[in-house]
Structure formats: structure tokens, C-alpha cells
Amino acid sequence: MTDPADEYNVVFLVLDSLRKDRVSAYNEAVDFTDTLQSIADDALRFDDAVTQAPWTLPSHASMFTGQYPWQHGTTHARSYFPAGESTVISQFSDAGYATGAITSNVWITPHKGMTGDFDYVENFLGSADNALSRRISKAVTKLYDALGTLPKRILGRQLDRAFRLFDVDDSCKSEETVAAVEQYFADRDPDERFFLYVNLMEPHEPYYPPQTYLDKHGVDDESKIPHRQKDMFTKDDIDFGELAKAYDASVDYTDDLVGRITDALAANNLDEDTVVVVLSDHGQALGEDGLFGHQFTVTDPVIETVLFVDHPDLAADTESRPFELRKLYDLLPYYAGLTPTEPDVFDNTVRGGCEFPENFTGYIPREEWDEYYRQHRYLLRDGTKVVKSVAEGGEPRYAAYDRETGDAVPVPDDLKAEIDRIEDVTVADDAEQPEAERPGDGDDEIADRLEALGYK
């Protein structure tokens, strides 16, 4: 691909909750993602990229470490980054790259252990990102993780309220994020290589893009749009059509924000030396089967993701083989020129899942808990998707689908056996993988990165 002596900058741009079918490179009917289309036109486009978890924290932990969710053990209440563990970020740091993270996502913070390997972090937490809040997080996490399920649900809501005293803001802060990225590019020393992680939150609920985008997409009645999980149970008249239009407006706005980032690369003469990776960490359910959101479902619009790799020395192409996002841990160093041999990152089987949620988003009625408090595993092979869902202490439920049509099909015996042993599957060279530590059992540096807070 490239001379091994050549090394490239990397911009790792995550468009949180972006669905594939809202991007013209995957759906010709879409007419509002011109920037993403221009990137895809020059990029290697992955047509079957699949996340290893349906929500931000475990999905990122898998991408950063190359591990499956049941290996890194990340849940709402804990992140898993033992001291000295290799991450994709540390690979670049060890190679002498400057590493930066610019994101307003409340999960990608020092409190969650997700930013410790970056040299520079802008997470827009303001007064929440201080020694006192981290010490409180450490103490609360120990208590929280030791509690049973019901106390966690109750305490989680109180913790959310308490954390607001630190002025935590989970708004998208898109303008601030892009401005910080523009400044980061402007400050680069042309002789210093960099790895920059950026997370844009606009495709994620709540949906409040600038009014011009809402008007463009014909959003007439915002009162009928669910913006939070709790809205599914508290709003009397939800209009999923209005929701879809608001989502599209947010994607449209995101596309323009991405354009500002790529323009800034070119304006600072960095575009010819930079690999731009554009992806979604997961998608979003917008009313399919009455579902909204992502963290409680593994439906196709949630686990299938966008992935483009725009490399200065690679011609545009498409990759149709199934691809697990966790393999970016191996692929990014190769594309950057850090490793000369192309890694084997494709398999005919894709796996993923999520653990039991350890607190809920807002209010979910008690009678609905058994449907939402579930562990999921999914497996994709040869055009078939199998899902295993189990409530705590309950019998597992299995379902299988034809990936092309979406129709339910009988669960193949071999895939049922395979999904039952999914947690026995290890990543390469991982025989010595330790079990996930409970928060606070490791050294203070690791414990200080944790906090037991969920979405507000």
C-alpha cells in the first residue's frame, strides 16, 4: 500500500449514532450528505461494518482495545482499562505521535477511563473535570458497583441529579467541538505526526439542530418528538415521522460540520498527510418495532455502521466483507504506516453484545423493566443474524433473521450453538487476559477515571 517509512496523521472522526441508511454513500435516496459523499468518493468504503456494542462506551472500548465487550467488561458503571494495557491510542503515542481527543460526549471522559492515553483532551466538562469530582466518582463507583440491581436503579437517578451540581452539560456542543478541532489543526507543528479522535454528537438524541435545518426537513411539531428514552413512556402522542425528520435534520447539520473539519485540514495543508477515518460507533432506532434509541436494542439500524477510510495513497474502493469495528485497533496503525504488514482483519463471523444495563435512562415503568433489563449477544454469518437475549435469571430468547430481507427465519442449530459459546471466543494473543477488575481495586490512576453515572 505505502512505503513503510511513510507515516501519516490520523483523524478518527466518530459521528455518534449515525445510521447507514441516512448517508448517500449507502442509500442513493439521501440527498443531504454531500460532504460525506465526497469523502466516500475518495475512500475505501466498508459496506458491512458492524459495531461490537449498541451504545457508546462499550463500542469505543472495543475499538480502542480490540476486545469484545464481554472481555473488556465495560458497563454503565465501570470501564476497563488496566494500567499498561495497549490501546489504539497508546500504539500511536509509543510511535511518537501527538494524541488528542476533542469530544463533548459525556462517556468519553477521564471519569470513564476513556481518555487516559491522550496527550490532549477537550471534553467540555468545565468544572466537572476536577480532582474533587474524580475523587467523588471513585468513592461512588465502589459503592455503586457493590449494590444490587434495584438499588442501582434508584441511586442512579439521584446521582444524575447530584452530578448536575457540577454543571455537567450533555448537549451536543457541535460548534465548540468543531472550533476546537480547527484550532488543533492550526496549532500543529508540520514535522510532528498526530492522532486526533473527534466525536460529533449531533446524530445522537436529543435532536436540536439549528432551526434552519429543522425547517429544511419540514419538522412541524417538535412536541411529538421523543428526545429521551423516558419520552417513550411519558409522551401521549409520539410521531415517529416527525422524529425521522428531526433526525435527518441533525444528520444534515452533521454533514456540514464534517465539511468544516475537512476544510480545516486542507486550509492547514494537512490533508495530503492525513488518513481520515469517518465512522459511526453505532446507529439509532427511530421507531422500528416501536423502538427508539440504541442502548437497549441490537436491531440492524443500531449495530450496522458507517465506515470510510480516506487515505492519501489509496484509490477509492469498496469492501464488502463483514468487518468488526474492534479490528480498527489493528487496522489504523497499518493505514498510518506504523506497521508494514497488512493485518488479517476479516472473518466470516461477526460477534457483538451488551451487558445488563446498570441504570436506566430516565424513567422506565416497572412493568417494562424485564424487556429493557436484558443482556444481548448477536452473531452474523453467511447472511444470517442470530440474537440471544436473556433477562437476569431468565431463560434465553433466540431469534434469527435473513440479513438481506430482514425476515425472521428458523434459528440454525450451528449458529445457536455458536452464539451460546460466544463468551468463550477470545481475541488473538489474548490468553493472558485478566478478568475485569472491580472499580477501585486497581491503582488510584485507574480508579480515578471511573464514575457511576448514566445518561441524564
- Predicted local confidence at residue 343, as pLDDT: 96
Is 396 within 8 Å of 376 (Cβ atoms)? no
In total, how many domains does the chain have? 1
- Predicted local confidence at residue 259, as pLDDT: 98
Is 359 within 8 Å of 156 (Cβ atoms)? yes
Q: Which amino acid is at 210?
A: P
Which residues touch 66 (CB under 8 Å, ≥6 apart)?
88, 326, 327, 329, 330, 427
Dist CA 70 CA 219 (whole Å): 40
Which residue range is the domain that position 307 belongs to? 9-340+349-429+436-447
Dist CA 56 CA 208 (whole Å): 20
Q: With DSSP H G I counted as helix, E B as strand and the rest as coil, what are the percentages for the chain, rounded to 5? A: 35, 15, 45
1 assigned to some structural domain = no
- Predicted local confidence at residue 434, as pLDDT: 34
- Predicted local confidence at residue 171, as pLDDT: 62
265 assigned to some structural domain = yes
- Counting other chains too, the contacts that 427-435 makes at CB distance below 8 Å and 24 or more residues apart are 427/66, 427/67, 427/68, 427/71, 427/326, 430/67, 430/71, 433/67, 433/71, 434/82, 435/73
4 assigned to some structural domain = no
- Predicted local confidence at residue 453, as pLDDT: 29
Alpha helices in 355-455 (DSSP H): 369-372, 413-420, 444-447
Dist CA 24 CA 5 (whole Å): 36
Is 452 within 8 Å of 142 (Cβ atoms)? no
User: Which residues, listed in sequence order, are joined to residue 397 by a DSSP beta bridge?
Assistant: 389
Is 52 within 8 Å of 68 (Cβ atoms)? yes
Residues of the chain with pLDDT under 70: 1-5, 77, 80-84, 126-171, 358-363, 426-456
Dist CA 138 CA 444 (whole Å): 9
Is 352 within 8 Å of 448 (Cβ atoms)? no
Dist CA 269 CA 15 (whole Å): 24
- Predicted local confidence at residue 439, as pLDDT: 34
Dist CA 206 CA 172 (whole Å): 9
- Predicted local confidence at residue 423, as pLDDT: 86
Here the cell at position 292 is 427508539
CATH of the domain at 310: 3.40.720.10
Q: Is this model's pTM higher than 0.85 or not?
A: yes
251 assigned to some structural domain = yes
Q: Which amino acid is at 143?
A: L
Three-point CA angle 248, 14, 64, nearest 5°: 150
273 assigned to some structural domain = yes
- Segment (H or E) for 331: helix 328-336
Residues, the chain: 456
Is 54 within 8 Å of 303 (Cβ atoms)? yes
- DSSP code at position 19: -
Cis peptide before 82 (omega within 30 of 0): no
**In whole angstroms, how far apart are CA 51 and each of 57, 120, 159, 324, 399?**
12, 26, 29, 6, 19
453 assigned to some structural domain = no
Three-class secondary structure of residue 386 per DSSP: strand
- Segment (H or E) for 354: strand 349-354
Is 294 within 8 Å of 54 (Cβ atoms)? yes
* 350 φψ region: left (φ > 0), alpha (ψ -120 to 50), beta (else): beta
Task: State the angle between helix axes of 174-186 and 240-267 in degrees (0 to 180), rounded to the nearest 10.
Answer: 10
Three-class secondary structure of residue 447 per DSSP: helix
Is 137 within 8 Å of 450 (Cβ atoms)? yes
* 382 φψ region: left (φ > 0), alpha (ψ -120 to 50), beta (else): left
Dist CA 25 CA 310 (whole Å): 14
